[in-house]
Amino acid sequence: MRNYKDHLLKAGSTIKDALIKLDALAKDAIIFIVDGENRLLGSLTDGDVRRGLIKGITIDHQVDEIIQPNPRYIRKGEQDIKKVIEYREGNFRIVPIVDKESKIVNVINFREMRSYLPVDAVIMAGGRGQRLRPLTDDTPKPLLKVGDKPIMEHNVDRLALYGIDDFWMSVKYLGEKIEQYFKDGASKNVNIKYVWETEPLGTIGAVSSIEDFEHDYILVTNSDLLTNLDYEHFFLDFMDKDADFAVVSIPYQVNVPYAVLETEESKIKSFREKPTYTYYSNGGIYLMKKDVLKYVPKDTFFNATDLMETLIGKGYNVVSYPLSGYWLDVGKHEDFEQAQKDIKQIKF
């Protein structure tokens, strides 16, 4: 993935400088003109240069003379995902992301990305991976390779595919190896920070120590899941249902090989011949409004299911998102072996 800064050019640069940069960008040829603090001033394409040359501008003139002063952009933290979809479907392939001061903090390329969700992602990666020993004796479970890269990297890359670029990784066992592997996320055009657990804090307890989330929506996920979940659809479903908390649920079918009788005081009211019942289990991926995290106690072992129970008891809108795609919890040796087979076939 190209570094977003390749699309930036300082105001006052020459048109020749712009042409060199546009040529290097090839099919992604658009640059954004910025001031000394990376504030967005305008955009420039090959077409803008051609029109300038026709008017008598030379390549030694400054780009300021031919830029488009009102480029489309997305403001970081903006909750209107429909604007993102509108740009994508309108074939605006490359769009800058600006902060509240109009400084460019990222550039998204819809040729490489599918969306830009206003979400912080927290990946829980502190577990020991006991059931996968001896593989996890020297390697933290999230760094065990499935195919050509670690399980956790599959998760990071998929989330980044949907434009999530603010990550938190909760680590404990061999956490320094995870930190050494991912560093600050710059190589993936994302920002990664680390939360260190001194004691096990459950599947969501560590989130209580994070106070500087960038967005109003938080996604918490286990690090050892392999999935092709469509995160944009998950987010849109969350918004459509006006949810406070959503959990990805995995369908689980039970086939009963006999007729099931429905009775009332020993009297048969009806029966179903060899029915199939579908139940939904917790998929370990949660989306929530930041506000609900006030119910996660500080420095206390606390699971996501504890938070769900608390919110349900207080009348919050807690919803299920049934997953129709692929999902695998890589918790045991047989799961790890299955993941190696599936990664060759499943479209991620």
Q: Is the distance from CB of 228 to CB of 202 less than 8 angstroms? A: no
* Residue-by-residue DSSP string for 228-267: ---HHHHHHHHHHTT-SEEEEEEEEEEE-SS-EEEEETTE
- pLDDT for position 18: 93
Average pLDDT over residues 193-222: 92
Supply angle C-alpha 62, 64, 70, rounded to 5.
160
Cβ neighbours for 172, distance < 8 A, ≥ 6 positions apart:
126, 127, 196, 197, 198, 200
Q: What is the mean pLDDT of the chain?
A: 91
Mean pLDDT for 291-315 is: 95
All domains in the chain, ordered by first residue: 4-109 (3.10.580.10), 123-342 (3.90.550.10)
* d(C-alpha 30, C-alpha 32), whole Å: 7
What is the predicted pLDDT for the residue at 219?
A: 97
pLDDT value, residue 345? 83
pLDDT reading at 146 higher than 80: yes
Residue 275 clears pLDDT 80, i.e. is over it: no
The arithmetic mean of pLDDT across residues 181-210, rounded, is: 92
Task: Write down the pLDDT at residue 170.
Answer: 94
Q: How confident is the model at residue 11 (pLDDT cuts 50, 70, 90)?
A: very high
Q: Among 110-114, 163-167, 245-249, whose mean pLDDT is lowest? A: 110-114
What percentage of residues in the chain have a pLDDT greater than 70?
A: 99
Instruction: Quote the pLDDT of residue 2.
Output: 77
- The confidence band for 167, taking pLDDT boundaries of 50, 70 and 90, is very high
Beta-strand pair 245-255/145-146: unpaired
Model pLDDT, residue 267: 81
Tell me: pLDDT of 243 over 90: yes
Token pair for residue 30? 């658009």
Mean pLDDT value of segment 157-165 = 94
Average pLDDT, integer, range 251-258 = 79
> Which residue is listed with tokens 């045991």?
332
Q: State both tokens at 211.
A: 């106070």
Name the band, by pLDDT with cuts 50, 70 and 90, for residue 90. Answer: confident
pLDDT-derived band of residue 279, with 50, 70 and 90 as boundaries? confident
Q: Per-residue pLDDT averaged across 36-65, rounded?
A: 92
pLDDT(265) > 80? no
Average of pLDDT values for 319-332? 91
Which stretches does DSSP call E strand in the chain? 8-10, 31-34, 40-44, 74-75, 94-98, 104-109, 119-125, 145-146, 149-150, 166-171, 191-196, 217-222, 225-227, 245-255, 260-264, 267-272, 276-289, 318-322, 327-329
pTM: 0.86
* Helix and strand totals (H; E) in the chain: 8, 19
Please check the confidence at residue 61 and state whether its pLDDT lies above 80: yes
